[in-house]
Amino acid sequence: MNNPFIRELLDKYFRGETTLEEEKTLREFFSRDVADPDLKPYQELFSFFQIEQLQQPSEGLEERFFEQLSKRETSEPKRPEAILRTLRPWLVRAAMVAFLLIGSWWIYTRNEMNPATETAAIDWSKYEPETPEEALRITKEALGKASRHLNKGTSMAMEEMNLMGEMGKVLH
Amino acid sequence: MSPESFKHQILPLKDRMYRLALRITGNPAEAEDALQEVWIKLWKQGDQLLQIQNLEAWCVRVTKNHCIDKVRNKKPEVREWTEAVEAVSWDQSPERKAEQQDTLRLVRDAIGRLPEKLQLVMHLRDIEGLSYHEIEEALEMPMAQVKVNLFRARQQVRAQLLNTGLQ
């Protein structure tokens, strides 16, 4: 068997393990006349790759593209979506400013038109005790009420402490 | 993007983009139309295009997606890929040249019968000479998948070539 190196490279190629450099070596080898008949099909394959690399678009394609582009830019009116896309940031800002102005105006006019919302001044003199006895009675009532609530809190805490003690006994 | 930067950055890739369009559409006129449409798409991206890291892979990707969309619902047409074969100076007899063309047609058909993904991977590697990483980016395909597809494509083409009696 001739060309053991090339055959080895071909095996690598078909296993998908060749590097670009090794593939270049194969292309170069097959671009020459190959004597081994069993290598002929591979020569056709590599010739095909080389021929495909020569495919090019027709002459003047770029010029036609730029002509087409300039025609589009001059004759074609800007599409509404494109205009909208350009104006969008400004429209958002304008909407925000308008929203703030309308909101402020609404709050201002609402307050102007509804003066009843102002709280009326409380006449504390009505609740003032008139005699020292009355003042003493009110103070005693207030202190008694506070004392009841404080005692209630202490008794609740005692109940909880007792419960915890019971639970401790059960657990031990 | 200015026409000048478009000329310098995008147009040098025209052959590669055209060949890919031709691979997918199978028709030179259609491939040229597709290429122009792709250029317009790229032009519309404006300055954003210049911020793309691998512009070449991006252009290949846009071309691939555009051409696949274009041909998706179309019937396959008779392929007209003879110009390149004609253009090559083989320095051979007319008989040998005709024989060569038949052989190349067999190879082309063998590749053309591959599933689309396999064809594209083989095209980008064996005709365009892209690295695995470039193919990964251009086809939005994981590297392992690129390698598996290339392996399968080459195995299937080899089997077809040997079956068609290319000796």
Domain annotation for chain B: domains and CATH numbers: 3-71 (1.10.1740.10), 94-163 (1.10.10.10)
Q: Chain centroid to CA A65: how far?
A: 39
**A82 inside domain:** no
**A121 inside domain:** no
**A110 inside domain:** no
Q: What is the pLDDT of residue B80?
A: 52
Domain carrying residue A148: 135-171
**A162 inside domain:** yes
The alpha-carbon gap from B34 to the nearest alpha carbon of chain A, in Å, equals 11
Across the interface, of B15, B39, B127, the residue whose CB is closest to A65 is: B39
Single out the residue of B127, B4, B60 nearest to residue A62, CA to CA: B4
Q: What is the pLDDT of residue A75?
A: 67
**A102 inside domain:** no
Interchain CB distance below 8 Å, B22 and A55: yes
Q: What is the pLDDT of residue B3?
A: 81
| Chain B positions in Cβ-Cβ contact with residue A62 (cut-off 8 Å) | 7, 11, 14
Phi, psi of B114 (to 5 degrees): -70, 150
The alpha-carbon gap from A100 to the nearest alpha carbon of chain B, in Å, equals 34
| Structural domains in chain A (count) | 2
The alpha-carbon gap from A94 to the nearest alpha carbon of chain B, in Å, equals 27
Token couple for B79: 């392929």
| Chain A positions in Cβ-Cβ contact with residue B35 (cut-off 8 Å) | 57, 61
Token couple for A169: 């006994």
Interchain CB distance below 8 Å, A51 and B31: no
Q: What is the pLDDT of residue B75?
A: 58
B119, B87 contact by CB (below 8 A): no
- Residue B114's alpha-carbon distances to A12, B63, B123, in angstroms, are 21, 20, 11
Chain A, nearest residue to B86 by Cα: A51
Q: What is the pLDDT of residue B84?
A: 53
Q: What is the pLDDT of residue B122?
A: 96
Q: What is the pLDDT along chain A (172 residues), one digit of tens a residue?
A: 478 899 999 999 999 999 999 999 999 999 887 778 888 889 889 989 998 999 899 888 888 888 888 887 776 666 667 777 778 888 999 999 999 999 999 988 887 776 655 567 778 887 888 888 888 998 999 898 888 877 777 778 888 888 888 888 877 6
Q: Which of B23, B127, B148, B151 to mutate to test the interface with A (most CBs of A within 10 A)?
A: B127
Q: Which stretches in chain B have pLDDT values below 50?
A: 82-83, 87, 89
Interchain CB distance below 8 Å, A69 and B40: yes
Q: What is the pLDDT of residue B83?
A: 47
* CB half-sphere exposure, B35, CA atoms < 13 A: 29
**A154 inside domain:** yes
Q: Which of A18, A48, A86 to mutate to test the interface with B (most CBs of B within 10 A)?
A: A48
Q: What is the pLDDT of residue A166?
A: 84
Q: What is the pLDDT of residue B167?
A: 53
pTM greater than the 0.80 cutoff? no
**A103 inside domain:** no
